[in-house]
Structure 1
Amino acid sequence: MRLLHIDSSERLIPTDFSGKTIPPYAILSHTWGGDEFLFEDLVNGTGKSKAGYEKILFCGEQAARDHLQYFWVDTCCIDRWNLRELSNAINSMFRWYRNAAKCYVFLSDISAPMTDAQLHQSIWEASFRKSRWFTRGWTLQELIAPASVEFFSLERQRLGDKESLEQQIHEITGIPVEALRGDPLEDFSVKDRRAWMAGRQTTQEEDLAYSLIGIFGVSMEFRYGEGKERALNRLQEEMEKANTTLFIVPFDRNARFVGRKSQLAELKGKLFVGALTTKVAITGPGGIGKTQLALELAYRIREEFKNCSVFWIPVSDMESLHQAYTHIAQRLNIPGWDDEKADVKELVQLYLSKESAGQWLLVFDITDGARLETAGSSQPVSLIEYLPVSDQGAIVFTTTDRKTAVTLGLQDIVELPEMEQDIAQRMLEMYLISPANEPEVADLLLKELAYIPLAIVQAAAYININKITLGQYLLLLAEQKEEVIELISKECENVIASTWLISFEQIRLQDTLAADYLLFMACVDPTDVPLALLPTTSPREKGIDAVGTLDAYSFVTKRTAESALDLHRLVHLSTRNWLKNQESLSEQTQVAITRLLEVFPDSNHWNRSKWRRLLPHAKFALSSSLPGQENEARINLTYKHAMALFSDGRFNEAEAYFNDALQSWKEVLGQEHPDTLTSMANLASTYRNQGRWKEAEDLEVQVMETSKRVLGQEHPSTLTSIANLASTYRNQGRWKEAEDLEVQAMETSKRVLGQEHPSTLTSMGNLACIWKGHGRDVDALELMKQCVEIRARILGSNHPYTLSSSTTLLGWEAEKLEVSTSADRE
């Protein structure tokens, strides 16, 4: 990637960052005119009189105001005579816009000369809605990809950004606000994404296809002259190939990966051999580069095995494993993946074990200290139980623990040795923006950094941002207080704690919000932290800048497709150790719990995708809270966490959290408080769903009797408790007792809540099942029909309750037809 900057003499200087660390940069989005400043003008020092040169100056000056040294403009940063470079640019464009710190949209057909254009929006908004920019093909990805998009008039006046103008942009383009806010594009159908291009035009007809490459997450060779239809057909072919050969890896390829040639060759030589699934474990100390090696392997397998699906599975505990398998099941569209009673891990295992699944590679990136064992076992058997078996498959594990490596990889273990000095030297050079030109000092620095890749990356990031010499960084290392480093470096190398502390102290001075974000993320799971989970800030741009700061210091890795961040385990650990040293971990954990409670949704089925992403973070925060933190926020989050697990059919896990909430409510609110009774009822429901009838019945009787006395005979919670006890009786075949209670619940619900209230419909469906259970087939069929009709009208035909009762009704009708047919045959 070639970036521009304006030097002290106001000269426009290009710098090629191919294979090097790309610094934070701004990017321009605009519509082309007839007098653009081109690559030839840039290299020849000509063209400053061109009209298009003003846009270059605008972008550079605006970037400087936003404290960004570098910027990118398509007219002059791509050598269009170099076909290879042009092809790479077309396939990389979406990623370049997505990774930009700022995207400036220059609207040459909008005039707003006022000092504060936003105060006079009524004057320019009509022109804004008709701007040519919204009609061009390439600007679609330039609108969607970047997190920060700002709009400027011809006079360089800021009109607003993607957030403040969200409603207008939605109305102009028809693009859902969720897509504008950065939701994963995979959440939107192919049909919907194609519709976003409707009415847009491109100068070259083939660009109608090429400009959609990033929107659909594919790459393709460009062939100007092939015509629009052929280009669109090839795009469709690439999309179909991508749908059948999935590549689910949340990280971009590391363009600065160096060394490890022998380990890569060894790994590739072990994969896809033999009659069964090949398993290989990569092991070595933290920070040595296991994840980066596995990432490079994944991309090389993708290149060499065109029909091989690749799945990246970050694992810190069984919760993260469950979420990763759920995502894979959804992308593979495995039947039943969204059934709350299904074991999604087993579904993925069975699917990939079939020959029809084709060739695949699973990469389990296991966090140090991952909790993968089942109760009573010290072995990671829970993970082993869900590994697919196929002679077309291969599995790679990364772990610091050799015992885990032996258990998972058997005898196929690749150990990463300390990085060799010459490779470490190359790595440092690639990560530094400016050449070091200090070979002796560089050798001394690398020795101090123990040739550990993570330490080298963090040191280089600090040097780049603060523009210091290698010698100055060596002095910073020497100045670190040994006793502080000892406290922070528990469970990791001292040198990693040192590089972390140097960078963190500087971040606290430069960007307090970035420091706050890091401290917050130290109290949730370090994997897949959604940007939407970070504490809210105003204005939003500060939040984007803060994330950029953490990225620039190599503290986080962006999951750009998911709008999320990952922290390296040792960065996460160092930050937590620092909080402990400051005696602030308890306070910061409470901040995380409070924020999680704000964003954690209720257990409505429409919220399933959201709560599944937040479950690992809620679990981590709750498990990390210290004794004496039994406050309302923690109890409420525990309850919400339990309800989400329950709604996903994970009753064993939900039981522990319901029990935790119950004991807390008893202490805080008392035995007979409605919230205490609700927690008790939910705990009983987990027993019932596990077939533990006696335990369920005992609790439900207690809840029902207390509710009648405290809340009243006709209170909705009392009616729910009656219905729950009836369900327990029904599941045991105690039909008369179940019927009496369910009739009571249904009739009272009709009178108190109404004929069409969801609780009334639930009782109606349950009573129909009771009648069916003890032979009243005709009555049961008629009552279930009523239930389905009302649910379809009130809740919608696709609501899970409607679908469940419809499935039951269809089964009964099919059974009735079979009985009738059999009688006719006889």
Structure 2
Amino acid sequence: MRLLHFNYSKRLISTDFSGKTIPPYAILSHRWGDSEVLFEDIGGNAYKEKEGYQKIKFCAEQAAQDQLQYFWIDTCCIDKWNLRELSKAINSMFRWYKNAARCYVFLPDVSISAATNIRQERAWEASFRASEWFTRGWTLQELIAPASVEFFSSNGRRIGDKRSLEQLIHEITRIPVKALQNCLLDEFTIPERMEWAEYRRTTEEEDEVYCLFGLLNIFMSTSYGEGKEQAWRRLQTEVEAVGSAPSIIPFSQNDHFVGREPQLAELEATLFTGTKTTRMAITGPAGTGKSQLALKLAYQTRRKNKSCSVFWINASNADSLYQSYASIAQKLDIPGWADEKADIRQLVKLHLSRKGSRQWLLIFDNVDRIDLGFGGMPTVPGAANLIDYLPQSELCSIIFTTTNSKITERLELQRVVELGEMTLDVARRTLQNYLKTPISESEQQEASLLLQELSYLPLAIVQAAAYINTKNTTLGHYLSQLLKQKEETRERNRVPSEGRLQEYGATGPVATTLLISMDQIRGSDPLAAEYLFLAASVDRKDIPLDLLEASSPREREAAIQILNSYGLVTRRPAESALDVHQLVHSALRGWLQKQERLDQWSQHAIARLLRVFPDNSHGNRSKWRRLLPHARYAISHDVPKEEEGDKIVLAWKCAMVLLSDGRYHEGEKLFVQVMETSSRVLGEEHPDTLTSMANLASTYRNQGRWKEAEVLDVQVIETRKRVLGEEHPSTLTSMTNLASTYRNQGRWKEAEKLEVQVLETSSRVLGEDHPDTLTSMTNLASTFWNQGRWKEAKELEVQVMETRKRVLRQEHLSTLNAIGDLAFTLKS
């Protein structure tokens, strides 16, 4: 849990108390606006310019009056780029409000004049009754959970608290007074507690269900995009399962699922038949319904075997895998699950491997690879893989879904179930289940022809049904559009194309249904079409909404809803992101390639990523980890040489964050690419080329490859001396880097010679108080220290400490570091 406070210089500070004793804190209950201060804003200086800052200031001042140093606000205390943290926060919110010393409710739609006497004048009561705060879903837990809830007007005047206003609040909300007085919620039945939210609304329809988690004492994974009804059904399942085996299935049971009965029976018969762990896989081409078959098995197993826990794990990349394991650890309350430093995957593996009486069914969905690269990207040779985190127990069964047949060879499987083409009868039932209106007798022939043209592929059927439902058209009309589209595609493909069209999967039933939907979208909503093209230019999973430009959040939301209605994207509002199916992504790239617009959209994606991609500071780690797969995907596309400028800069940013993340092998490849491109485009002596060489040398140093680092360092120094001069700051920096390379090899005399030169030049050119001069003093002192020359080290460190005290003050981090260095020398 993070808490906020203002430091001695009135700067907003965020402190992470994970694994520590949490101090008393206040908490703010409010409604989100369009200009809130977010987690990533805290480290900068612009947060005071946002409208939401006034709420932060109000909360801090009120907390100070109540002798509370720390406070919590959801807008900026949750790192929403960190999916594990976000999932944990949604399920922990009720507890955080409950544990708060004070809860301040800020009501922007209730105004009270400064001259009004609250006790004597009740003119505010009408606006208080009508406040939207009482109509929102998430504010329900914020009213019930805390012991102290105080209400404030738009100008910060205190109206009263939950106790003094309890009768009025009871009349507004119909919540029993006893519940407002913080009695045990178990005194009210589950239906009674659900009724309290009956007339409350949320921005996302699923949140009308999710906001009840804390009130019902339920832990349930979120699955935005499933719809309110499906979410209700999952919640009911969780409520009914109280007291039975804990499970996590993030998707509702698919009522549209039909067929695959033989495969389902085959999987079910193999469960828990191994002497250790039973491993099975569902394989088949993309779009054949592997995940849906696994989902059917999950619900069927849970229904038939109440003592069996079923856990769904997203294994598409390392981040998603880690988040799934963290949810399991939290659900099972495994000791140490809240420790940020713990390897959650090993904790879960050991817990599920121990002897016991309960059975476990684990479903690893979308296993495209088994090596654990962040965001699906490659890792260094010898890195851990998925197999290292699989539990070993005769009570455990594991199902993998994958399109990669090579993976099945490495997983030591007892059974592989391959999914192929559906039969006509099953395909017809699938189409009927997805359509809003029944297929009439006269439409049966058209339905058969349509399904034949769609190759009986489930994904194509779903997209066709989505179009028919959205446009309220007939099967016959859609079939004629499909045939026309296929004929046009055949005509175009008769003309030889230089592009790698086939590589992008621009043919096939999914591509055809996509083109039909896209024609409509481009005509009715160009912004939605632009979002599709941008999505085709980045990685297809977890596409942040920050990449989608719009004049307002409402305009962006409307465009996304259109794409969702046509079944072209999967929404993930909790993560503010979208997913695009693999076949849709490939077809979109194929279409753009055919239209000779793929280069243009790749450049657009690179430019957009440059605007949102953060620097490599620690506070931005979650953000750049999620954006990194998209950036690396975008720069993997070849763009015209005259347009390589943005690509070089984005590649450099990617390399820098990889370096910060300790992924030196991956960073090295990008730095080499940046250096070679810069050298070719800008010239060997260009400052950017030299900077890329210096960065590559730093990567070598971090891997202990001193000789390779030294060669580059020397080359950079010689070029900068010749081009910029011996006293230029960049030249001095490169000399410092080479000295560092010498120090790491124990070549103290060579390091000392360079450091003395840097110090003398910095003192003369920049001044003795300049930060770079002080840094060079510190480096030279370190070299003296490593040779046991304590007196010389001490003299420099005293000078650094005194200067930093005078210039930066006693409490500055750099001053404290200087004090620590001197103390260590004196101790030595």
Q: CA–CA distance in 2 between the matches of 1:717 and 1:369?
A: 43
Aligned residue in 1 for 2:598? 585
2:385 matched to 1:387?
no
Aligned residue in 2 for 1:636? 649
Map 1:99-138 onto structure 2 (within 5 A): 132-136=130-134, 138=136
Aligned residue in 2 for 1:479? 484
Q: CA–CA distance in 1 between the matches of 2:779 and 2:792?
A: 13
Letter in 2 for 1:222: I
| Displacement of 1:568 | 0.6
Q: 1:634/1:806 Cα in 2 relative to 1: closer, same or farther (>3 Å)?
A: farther
Q: Tell me whether 755-764 or 538-547 shows the greater mean CA deviation.
A: 755-764
Aligned residue in 2 for 1:158? none
Are the equivalent residues in 1 in contact too, given 2:777–2:796 (CA < 8 A)?
Answer: yes
Aligned residue in 2 for 1:102? none
Are the equivalent residues in 1 in contact too, given 2:759–2:776 (CA < 8 A)?
Answer: yes
Aligned residue in 1 for 2:568? 555
Q: CA–CA distance in 1 between the matches of 2:265 and 2:746?
A: 62
Aligned residue in 1 for 2:256? 256
SS of structure 2 residue aligned to 1:631? helix
1:399 aligned to which of 388, 398, 402: 402
Aligned residue in 2 for 1:653? 666
TM-score by length of 1: 0.63
Q: CA–CA distance in 1 between the matches of 2:269 and 2:764?
A: 72
| Displacement of 1:323 | 3.9
Q: 1:433/1:362 Cα in 2 relative to 1: closer, same or farther (>3 Å)?
A: closer
| Displacement of 1:728 | 0.9
Letter in 2 for 1:437: S
Are the equivalent residues in 2 in contact too, given 1:579–1:585 (CA < 8 A)?
Answer: yes
Q: 1:665/1:604 Cα in 2 relative to 1: closer, same or farther (>3 Å)?
A: same
Q: 1:741/1:221 Cα in 2 relative to 1: closer, same or farther (>3 Å)?
A: farther
What do residues 362-402 of structure 1 show as CA deviations (whole Å, max 9, x unaligned)?
Answer: 624145999999xxx9xx99774763142256654322232
2:289 matched to 1:285?
no
Letter in 1 for 2:391: S
| Displacement of 1:532 | 0.9
Q: 1:601/1:354 Cα in 2 relative to 1: closer, same or farther (>3 Å)?
A: same
Aligned residue in 1 for 2:67? none
Aligned residue in 1 for 2:713? 700
2:175 aligned to which of 195, 199, 204: 204
Aligned residue in 2 for 1:603? 616
Q: CA–CA distance in 2 between the matches of 1:609 and 1:754?
A: 38
Are the equivalent residues in 2 in contact too, given 1:406–1:413 (CA < 8 A)?
Answer: no
| Displacement of 1:690 | 1.3
1:513 aligned to which of 527, 544, 547: 527
Q: 1:466/1:757 Cα in 2 relative to 1: closer, same or farther (>3 Å)?
A: farther
TM-score by length of 2: 0.63
SS of structure 2 residue aligned to 1:565? strand
2:556 matched to 1:533?
no
1:446 aligned to which of 420, 445, 451: 451
Q: CA–CA distance in 2 between the matches of 1:389 and 1:171?
A: 56
| Displacement of 1:221 | 7.5
**Percent identity of paired positions between Structure 1 and Structure 2:** 45
Q: CA–CA distance in 2 between the matches of 1:669 and 1:246?
A: 60
Q: CA–CA distance in 2 between the matches of 1:237 and 1:648?
A: 37
Are the equivalent residues in 2 in contact too, given 1:329–1:337 (CA < 8 A)?
Answer: no
Aligned residue in 1 for 2:190? 222
| Displacement of 1:481 | 3.8
Q: CA–CA distance in 2 between the matches of 1:640 and 1:173?
A: 47
Letter in 2 for 1:140: W
SS of structure 2 residue aligned to 1:363? strand
Aligned residue in 2 for 1:66? none
Aligned residue in 2 for 1:313? 315
Q: CA–CA distance in 1 between the matches of 2:737 and 2:766?
A: 17
Q: CA–CA distance in 2 between the matches of 1:523 and 1:690?
A: 33
1:687 aligned to which of 700, 704, 709: 700
What do residues 297-327 of structure 1 show as CA deviations (whole Å, max 9, x unaligned)?
Answer: 567778867866543122xxxxxx3444565
Map 1:264-279 onto structure 2 (within 5 A): 264-267=264-267, 270=270, 274=274, 276-279=276-279
Aligned residue in 1 for 2:438? 435
Q: CA–CA distance in 2 between the matches of 1:649 and 1:128?
A: 58
Are the equivalent residues in 2 in contact too, given 1:669–1:676 (CA < 8 A)?
Answer: yes
Aligned residue in 2 for 1:365? 366
Are the equivalent residues in 2 in contact too, given 1:361–1:394 (CA < 8 A)?
Answer: yes
1:494 aligned to which of 472, 491, 508: 508
| Displacement of 1:775 | 3.1
**Unmatched tracts of structure 2, length 5 or more:** 1-30, 32-90, 95-106, 112-123, 143-151, 159-167, 197-210, 223-244, 331-335, 355-359, 494-500
Q: Tell me whether 461-470 or 200-209 shows the greater mean CA deviation.
A: 200-209
Map 1:801-812 onto structure 2 (within 5 A): none
Q: CA–CA distance in 1 between the matches of 2:139 and 2:174?
A: 16
1:354 aligned to which of 346, 350, 353: 350
Letter in 1 for 2:529: A
SS of structure 1 residue aligned to 2:138? helix
Are the equivalent residues in 2 in contact too, given 1:309–1:361 (CA < 8 A)?
Answer: yes
Q: 1:131/1:324 Cα in 2 relative to 1: closer, same or farther (>3 Å)?
A: same
Aligned residue in 2 for 1:459? 464
| Displacement of 1:457 | 0.4
| Displacement of 1:772 | 4.3
Q: CA–CA distance in 1 between the matches of 2:307 and 2:778?
A: 52
Q: CA–CA distance in 2 between the matches of 1:173 and 1:506?
A: 52
Letter in 1 for 2:475: L
Are the equivalent residues in 2 in contact too, given 1:272–1:391 (CA < 8 A)?
Answer: no
Letter in 2 for 1:526: R
| Displacement of 1:286 | 2.0
Aligned residue in 1 for 2:14? none
Aligned residue in 2 for 1:740? 753
What do residues 508-550 of structure 1 show as CA deviations (whole Å, max 9, x unaligned)?
Answer: 122111111111111111111111112x122432221111111
1:419 aligned to which of 381, 403, 422: 422
Are the equivalent residues in 2 in contact too, given 1:772–1:780 (CA < 8 A)?
Answer: yes
Are the equivalent residues in 2 in contact too, given 1:594–1:633 (CA < 8 A)?
Answer: yes
| Displacement of 1:172 | 8.0
What do residues 260-300 of structure 1 show as CA deviations (whole Å, max 9, x unaligned)?
Answer: 44444544555666465543322112211123334555677
Are the equivalent residues in 1 in contact too, given 2:353–2:391 (CA < 8 A)?
Answer: no
Q: CA–CA distance in 2 between the matches of 1:246 and 1:779?
A: 64
Map 1:720-735 onto structure 2 (within 5 A): 720-735=733-748
Q: 1:250/1:389 Cα in 2 relative to 1: closer, same or farther (>3 Å)?
A: closer
| Displacement of 1:686 | 0.8
| Displacement of 1:752 | 5.6
Q: 1:717/1:266 Cα in 2 relative to 1: closer, same or farther (>3 Å)?
A: farther
| Displacement of 1:556 | 0.5
What do residues 38-71 of structure 1 show as CA deviations (whole Å, max 9, x unaligned)?
Answer: xxxxxxxxxxxxxxxxxxxxxxxxxxxxxxxxxx
Aligned residue in 2 for 1:565? 578
Are the equivalent residues in 2 in contact too, given 1:247–1:311 (CA < 8 A)?
Answer: no
Aligned residue in 1 for 2:683? 670
| Displacement of 1:559 | 1.6
SS of structure 2 residue aligned to 1:775? coil
Are the equivalent residues in 1 in contact too, given 2:370–2:386 (CA < 8 A)?
Answer: no
Aligned residues: 624
Q: CA–CA distance in 2 between the matches of 1:795 and 1:408?
A: 59
Q: CA–CA distance in 2 between the matches of 1:785 and 1:354?
A: 51
Q: 1:130/1:288 Cα in 2 relative to 1: closer, same or farther (>3 Å)?
A: same
**Unmatched tracts of structure 1, length 5 or more:** 1-29, 31-90, 95-106, 112-125, 145-167, 175-198, 214-219, 315-320, 818-826
What do residues 773-810 of structure 1 show as CA deviations (whole Å, max 9, x unaligned)?
Answer: 3335687689789989969x9799999x9999999999
Letter in 2 for 1:287: G
RMSD of equivalent CA atoms: 5.4
Letter in 1 for 2:313: F
Letter in 2 for 1:458: Q
SS of structure 2 residue aligned to 1:525? coil
Are the equivalent residues in 2 in contact too, given 1:256–1:427 (CA < 8 A)?
Answer: yes
Q: CA–CA distance in 1 between the matches of 2:684 and 2:819?
A: 39
Letter in 1 for 2:622: S
Q: CA–CA distance in 2 between the matches of 1:432 and 1:713?
A: 75
Q: CA–CA distance in 2 between the matches of 1:233 and 1:143?
A: 9
SS of structure 1 residue aligned to 2:192? coil
Q: CA–CA distance in 2 between the matches of 1:803 and 1:570?
A: 56
Letter in 2 for 1:512: P
